[in-house]
Structure 1
């Protein structure tokens, strides 16, 4: 027994060192793996929370919300294998002003390198107005990259009162329609896009809406739908009826045209045309941030928060 004990202690120091070293390495690996797992878990949770918040559309009516959810799901289902998860910071995916009067949810999904899609962006904005009531904006836009010269997709509903709504629905061209008449014929004439605009204009409460921004007017297509819907003081029932029975089907039809004839179109784009698209897309995206978002976000969320949100958007808008 004594011999066995002595023999044991002769090797014990090496065994302990070896065991300690192995345990320490294992512990470091475990801690590193644990931290990585926790970090990934937190990030996954934040992504889910950001997406969940975006899909709430909490301040709009049921017909309005249902339309937004249908449009978002249609685009994502069509390109699910191409789209990557939203990686915006949590405080950009959802931001609420300190005084609680303004909120924004922003969801941007970039695509993989094999897709003609550059990114898809959805958002909702809610702001309480000093005069009472609120401003609610919901939007969905999809941008193509330079491998496809087809038009982009833009949809926006702006509601400043229960009885007033502005609809923006367009496939903005990415080439000059005068220099490329075939582009006009392929994407606007052959698809009969103008019939959807004409259908909405037959509704008595629908009037043309002319934006004060000359830039936005200059980049819109000839079939762009810019309409104002003004109804009687009925707490919004008539506008919800128009959304459900008219705006909903028209918006889905236009989105279907974009998906089938633009996003999924097999277009041959040469190197010279790619360079033109990159330059043109870059100018328009920069101007969109400067003229549209850059002027409205600081008023809604304050300069610091607006800067943070806009900087995050710029990363995707940069061509």
Structure 2
């Protein structure tokens, strides 16, 4: 995942692990009652501790938590027949430092061999920084296979204080948009993605955010929603509920309809460049994001286990 963090210079979408999660049955029950995403019709089981750890999102505000649950449920319900069960080991599905200051959950479902889905990744990360501030990152990332050239899906919400949050929502292009104007028209112009970005730009306390990483800025599409929210305490949750919620859901709907389900399959001889580009994106994610940040947050041993699992799913050494 290509994700990015703000002033702390973190570019972190994944998370790291250790022992089995602490008992939080009461909290888990309350979450399952607050969102339709955790209904019995959901493609994941309440008895699966890997899934329940991810679905807790225990440090997010109510509106933020319900949005993540809804997005994950929507994607997995729609793509369920194309996905394999999660195979993430317990010490990657949930993890925390010995002090308990940093915790996280990660779940990955790979696509079946005959599908256009490479994998779906969901995660949350909570970390108490030396400054005393708490960092919370919630991520949903969907990667398509070389059978289609349609864009990948990226949603990441990075909160560094009760009054500050950074949004990244995008369909990540897999072709050069200058060399392939039809690609730009099909996935970005005809879908009117820029209209979703404009909805948020008109909201008070929301501004365009520029990552300090030029690489990350080069990966995003022209219609990417890269924005920061800075407001009074308590208002972030209202903005998530009243504005971000509908835009995120529409972005996911467009990706499902036009890319994951509606995207056309490409011929074998068209796939080499696509595979090369996707592999570079995966390797860069590990190099500039995971390998540099995870050890600082969770220590070398835990970080190593996480990176190994991510590389296995990525199909890289």
Q: Same fold (TM over 0.5)?
A: yes
Q: Which residue in the other structure is 1:88 paired with? A: 88
8 Å contact 2:173–2:221 — kept in the other structure? yes
Residues 30-76 of structure 1 show CA distances to partners (whole Å, capped at 9, x for unaligned) of: xxxxxxxxxxxxxx999811111110000111101000000000000
Which of 249, 254, 258 aligns to 2:251? It is 254
8 Å contact 2:150–2:263 — kept in the other structure? no
Contiguous gaps of at least 5 residues in structure 2: 1-43
Greater share of helix residues, 1 or 2? Answer: 1
CA distance in 1, matches of 2:202, 2:79: 34
Q: Which residue in the other structure is 1:304 paired with? A: 301
Q: Which residue in the other structure is 2:177 paired with? A: 177
Contiguous gaps of at least 5 residues in structure 1: 1-43
Q: Which residue in the other structure is 2:76 paired with? A: 76
3-state DSSP of counterpart to 1:79: helix
How far apart are 1:266 and its partner, in Å?
A: 4.3
**1:281-296 aligned within 5 A:** 281-296=278-293
CA distance in 2, matches of 1:137, 1:152: 19
CA distance in 2, matches of 1:51, 1:130: 30
Q: Which residue in the other structure is 1:26 paired with? A: none
CA distance in 2, matches of 1:177, 1:266: 17
**1:168-317 aligned within 5 A:** 168-232=168-232, 234=233, 237-317=234-314
Q: Which residue in the other structure is 2:104 paired with? A: 104
8 Å contact 1:153–1:258 — kept in the other structure? yes
Greater relative contact order (CA < 8 Å, ≥ 6 in sequence)? 2
3-state DSSP of counterpart to 2:173: coil
Q: Which residue in the other structure is 1:151 paired with? A: 151
Q: Which residue in the other structure is 1:11 paired with? A: none
CA separation of 1:114 and 1:243: change in aligned 2, threshold 3 A: same
Q: Which residue in the other structure is 1:41 paired with? A: none
8 Å contact 1:47–1:87 — kept in the other structure? no
RMSD over aligned CA atoms reads 1.6
Query: Could you state the TM-score of these two structures normalised by the residue count of structure 2?
Result: 0.83
Structure showing greater Rg = 1
3-state DSSP of counterpart to 1:81: helix
CA distance in 1, matches of 2:213, 2:305: 24
CA distance in 2, matches of 1:261, 1:99: 45
Residues 120-145 of structure 1 show CA distances to partners (whole Å, capped at 9, x for unaligned) of: 00000000121223100000010100
Residues 249-302 of structure 1 show CA distances to partners (whole Å, capped at 9, x for unaligned) of: 000001000000111124241223211111110001110121122222111111
3-state DSSP of counterpart to 1:226: strand
How far apart are 1:99 and its partner, in Å?
A: 1.3
8 Å contact 1:47–1:90 — kept in the other structure? no
8 Å contact 2:46–2:52 — kept in the other structure? no
8 Å contact 1:231–1:238 — kept in the other structure? yes
Tell me which moved more, 258-267 or 178-187: 258-267
How far apart are 1:118 and its partner, in Å?
A: 0.7
CA separation of 1:46 and 1:314: change in aligned 2, threshold 3 A: farther
1:50 aligns with 2:47: no
CA distance in 1, matches of 2:150, 2:308: 27
8 Å contact 1:106–1:123 — kept in the other structure? yes
8 Å contact 2:95–2:104 — kept in the other structure? yes
Query: Could you state the TM-score of these two structures normalised by the residue count of structure 1?
Result: 0.83
Tell me which moved more, 296-305 or 63-72: 296-305
CA distance in 2, matches of 1:156, 1:275: 29
